[in-house]
Chain A
Amino acid sequence: MTPLLEVRDLVKEYPVRSGVLRRVTGSVKAVNGVSFTLEPGQTLGLVGETGCGKSSVGRCLVNLAEPTSGDVLLGGQCLSDMSPRELRAARRRIQLVFQDPYASLDPRQSVETIVSEPLFLHGLAKGNEAGRTAELLDLVGLNRSSLRQYPHELSGGQRQRVGIARALALEPEVIVLDEPVSALDVSVQAGILNLLEELQNELGLAYVFIAHDLSVVRHVSHQVAVMYLGRIVECAESDELYANPRHPYTKALLSAVPVPDPRVERHRHRILLEGDLPSPLALPSGCAFASRCWKASDECASIPTLTSPTSDSLHTVACHHPEIT
């Protein structure tokens, strides 16, 4: 069965330019070999901290950035093999919701213009664009009176709903969400998360949910992949990952997330990581996490691959010393 979305060994490098003539002096490997699959109606949470490359992955998925190597396959078809016309058609299948609800909307366009633009671009709902636009607003829980409003007149939560409506206009099968609630207050966040869940249930959407907030990711995801310095270090079903993290980084990450319950907090053992993130310009050979890992040994000079250390093939770890519980 061809997966809906498949990523194979994705690598994305950004050249570093310096000097008067802006010569390329080096490169940053933002994404260093990422692979995963996604099925309809499922949410894959992609988590990691600053510099892990998750946003770059997101951009490659919707062809905002071209992979340096590796493939992004939509329904079995590779994006980089597509002609411009096929690519344009592919845009109808995979869309993106941005992080900043203000910057992602053109300040000079009304909500109606913003949400209907995809319809006009692709010739959808011909003759009834206005009606379809109004329906889309209903779908995301916005009052129809907002059609005439401009982004600066809306609250952050409303703007994000506009962004979601725009993404839905093309009736995609996959939506990539890049930190969709990070810029919102907690009480507004809940509304957006509930909306996303409802839409997934109603429309059978698949999500790639990119975020750094592990509590949010747990809430929305069926499967979670943890990234560190451009690689996936652990991938498992959501509940399984949070209950039995196998990679040392995942353990440290989970232990650092605060829980809004003082009784729980009092009994937690926080793993504090030593040192800092290695510079992405000079990635260490071997396991990228070894420099900060309390389990590091000689073996870790070679890059660990993503394998399942137990018979549970859904839970994979890239570590020479994974926890086996």
Chain B
Amino acid sequence: MTTTDVSSEPVGVKRAGFWRRFSQHRVAGIGAVTFTLLATACYGAAFVAPYPKDQQNLLLGPVPPSSEHWLGTDELGRDYLTEILYAGQLSLSLAIGVALIATSIGVLVGGVAGYRGGWVDDLFMRVTDLFLVVPAIALLALALQGLGQSPVTIVLVLALIGWTYIARVVRGQVLSLREREFIDAARVIGSSNRQILVKHILPNLGGVIAVNVALAVAGAIIIESTLSFLGFGVQPPQTSWGNMLSQASGLIGTPKVYLLYFPGFFILVTVLAINFVGDGLRDALDPRSTSGGSSGRGRQ
């Protein structure tokens, strides 16, 4: 064969640039580490927490942070750090549950709408619009009054409101992917629609989905906290960061204000950490954000 292509380009990175770029993003790294530590501490509270859950010490009452109780104690003398860690389990689980369900619905609706186009697309998008138009918090409050306020209900209702954003994003992405020549190429070699969706479209959605899951988790934590703070979400005796905030709401200006600050601080740090990770994922999606790499098109 006389026409061998002699390339002077070195054999480069194995994986497509996305994960490589993500791992180089310092802020995202900090976020990832922070979130992992937090999540481990919360879910591993049984091993990590200094005191058993709900261990009351009525004689002690609420005391500010000390060497025995790093974050102090609450009204019933329970170690606050322990309570926050256990509450974190519920807050995080709710948020992750909402994010996963909302993303699943969103990807399904957006993906099918984007790929099929035509009347299917129109129909699905009008439904999405319907969901978007309704004021979320009000609907939520009503739904929870009606359906009861168990965590499962909360997750389902929040997910049913939250999927619309992801559906739009995914639909847009699928629309642009659908027109790409490599999709045509897959058709020409004989792939069926299902095979194209699974082998070509879904993997190329991975980045977008990852970013949105991260942001959805952050958003869900905030919404759940807001709801619980307002009294519509998690109800005592179950604790979440949100309703811990609620119970401490009147304490500004008093010496017990730390009961308010600490859950708030945990919410803040968690949401920030997730947002940093989300930023890193989003930057990794954009091929132009790196130095080097031969992702350019142009004439060669």
Q: Which residues of A contact B (CB under 8 A)?
A: 62, 64, 88, 91-92, 95-96, 98-100, 102-109, 117-118, 121-122, 138-139, 141-143, 145, 148-150, 152-158, 161, 163, 166, 169-170, 183-185, 188, 191, 194-195, 198
Q: Which residues of B contact A (CB under 8 A)?
A: 1-5, 7, 9, 11-17, 180-182, 184-191, 195, 199-200, 203-204, 206, 287, 293-295, 297, 299-300
Task: State A155–B9 Cα separation when bound (angstroms).
Answer: 8
Contact of A143 (CB < 8 Å), options: B7, B294, B297, B300: B7
Q: Is the CB of B189 within 8 A of A152?
A: no
Q: Is the CB of B299 within 8 A of A184?
A: yes
- Determine the residue in chain A with the shortest Cβ distance to B122: A22
List chain B residues, Cβ under 8 A from A118: 189-190
- Determine the residue in chain B with the shortest Cβ distance to A194: B3
Contact of A122 (CB < 8 Å), options: B13, B190, B195: B190
List chain B residues, Cβ under 8 A from A88: 190
Q: Is the CB of B13 within 8 A of A96?
A: no
16 additional contacts (CB under 8 A) given A166-B185, A194-B3: A92-B190, A98-B181, A100-B181, A103-B180, A103-B181, A106-B182, A109-B203, A141-B1, A141-B5, A142-B5, A143-B7, A152-B293, A158-B7, A166-B189, A191-B5, A195-B3
Q: Which of B188, B190, B195, B300 has the most A CB atoms < 10 Å from its CB? A: B188
Q: Is the CB of A198 within 8 A of B294?
A: no
Q: Is the CB of B5 within 8 A of A153?
A: no
Q: Is the CB of A153 within 8 A of B294?
A: yes
Task: State A92–B294 Cα separation when bound (angstroms).
Answer: 33
8 A-B pairs within 8 Å (CB atoms) are namely A95-B188, A107-B182, A121-B190, A153-B11, A157-B300, A183-B299, A184-B300, A191-B5
Task: State A121–B185 Cα separation when bound (angstroms).
Answer: 13
List chain B residues, Cβ under 8 A from A91: 188-190
List chain B residues, Cβ under 8 A from A109: 203
Q: Which of A100, A102, A122 has the most B CB atoms < 10 Å from its CB? A: A102
Q: Is the CB of B189 within 8 A of A95?
A: yes
Q: Is the CB of A153 within 8 A of B190?
A: no
